[in-house]
């Protein structure tokens, strides 16, 4: 090999090229991670396509993940952003979803990683993003799962990371020759400093189902929701999917997270509080309820009926303050 006296500089230092996001598959092909050149990151398990981590550029975790949850595919993951499909909560009797486990089959199925896409290489560093796509269909379900809900369907789930936001979107298609009903929910566990010092805004005047109080229909009378006991409510904001929701630090009045929704008209607010947290074997630590709150975008008050060939798409974007 001839030694050149004037070697060109390494390609990595080529002027004008912005460093690109890095995507890796790890943990025995069980986890997909993406990292922006500025340090922000996201991790998604192929089991359930559950987002289990979202960190800012300083490495601060934004999602709450139970220390007691299983990440080996043996049980649904407690924390992060589990996917609820095609039924929310315990399935109703005498309904086509009645044989399914609570919250459906998406969060307990192994998804396929379909690939990544990134912003253009010449984009400014602040505009860099990476999108991860995952797929699940009736054809990829195991035989036992197909027997519980025997419809032909397709799901495409996309997770998009930017410097200051995380977007998760789900597209459901009916590939069957008969209609079916579905419910969809993005069951987001937010990490917070102290449950006693946050409030949730954007729900004033909204009707909600209070699942802790015998599913009574109530109206949010105060400007903000505060959590002081076990809370499990299904809100329908007055502004529909256009109503902005925020998790606010009461001491400073500063939003910690802002939540915008697309075609997801309901918002579930959940915190187990002390007694229930202790009774849940996959919830840990026992006082972990102090540092989490679920604010979940979904379409769950009724059913979305998809005719053959129809599709339903819903999305949320979480923006950091």
Distance, in Å, from the CA atom of 310 to the CA atom of 299, rounded to the nearest integer, reads: 16
**Euclidean distance between the first and final Cα of the chain, in Å?**
55
Q: Which of 40, 43, 103, 187 is catalytic?
A: 187
Angle ∠(50,51,54) on CA atoms, nearest 5 = 170
Question: Would you call 296 a catalytic residue per the annotation?
Answer: yes
Q: Which two tokens stand for residue 272?
A: 């187990």
Give the DSSP H or E segment for 248.
strand 245-249
Point out which residues pair with 299 in neighbouring strands. 184
Question: Would you call 112 a catalytic residue per the annotation?
Answer: no
Report whether the peptide linkage leading into residue 86 is cis, meaning its omega lies within 30 degrees of zero: yes
Distance, in Å, from the CA atom of 79 to the CA atom of 85, rounded to the nearest integer, reads: 16
Q: Which of 125, 296, 307, 313 is catalytic?
A: 296
Helices then strands (H, E): number in the chain? Answer: 2, 21
Q: How many residues does the chain have?
A: 321
Rg for the chain, CA atoms, rounded: 21
What residues contact 78, with CB distance under 8 A and at least 6 apart? 65, 66, 68, 69, 280, 282, 283
Distances (CA, A) of 262 to 28, 169, 211: 34, 9, 25
Residues designated catalytic: 187, 296
């Amino acid at each position: 090999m001839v030694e050149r006296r004037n070697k060109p500089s390494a390609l990595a230092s080529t002027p004008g090229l912005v460093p690109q996001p890095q995507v890796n598959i790890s943990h025995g092909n069980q986890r997909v991670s993406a990292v922006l050149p500025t340090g922000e990151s996201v991790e998604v398990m192929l089991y359930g396509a559950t987002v289990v981590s979202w960190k800012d550029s300083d490495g601060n975790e934004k999602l709450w993940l139970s220390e007691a949850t299983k990440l080996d595919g043996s049980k649904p993951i407690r924390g992060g952003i589990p996917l609820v499909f095609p039924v929310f909560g315990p399935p109703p009797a005498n309904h086509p979803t009645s044989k399914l486990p609570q919250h459906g089959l998406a969060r307990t199925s192994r998804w396929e990683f379909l690939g990544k896409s990134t912003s253009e290489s010449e984009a400014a560093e602040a505009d860099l993003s990476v999108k991860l796509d995952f797929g699940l269909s009736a054809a990829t379900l195991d035989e036992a799962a197909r027997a519980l809900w025997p419809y032909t369907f397709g799901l495409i789930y996309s997770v998009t990371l930017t410097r200051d936001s995380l977007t998760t979107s789900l597209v459901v298609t009916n590939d069957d020759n008969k209609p079916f009903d579905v419910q969809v929910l993005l069951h987001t566990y937010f990490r917070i400093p102290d449950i006693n010092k946050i409030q949730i805004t954007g729900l004033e005047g909204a009707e909600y189902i209070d699942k802790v109080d015998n599913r009574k229909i109530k109206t949010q009378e105060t400007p903000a929701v505060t959590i002081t006991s076990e809370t499990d409510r299904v809100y329908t904001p007055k502004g529909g999917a256009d109503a902005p929701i925020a998790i606010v630090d009461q001491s400073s009045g500063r939003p910690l997270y802002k939540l915008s929704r697309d075609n997801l008209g309901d918002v579930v607010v959940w915190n187990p509080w002390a007694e229930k947290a202790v009774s849940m074997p996959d919830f840990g630590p026992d006082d972990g309820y102090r540092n989490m709150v679920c604010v979940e975008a979904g379409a769950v008050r009724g059913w979305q009926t998809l005719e053959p060939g129809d599709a339903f798409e819903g999305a949320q974007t979480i923006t950091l303050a």
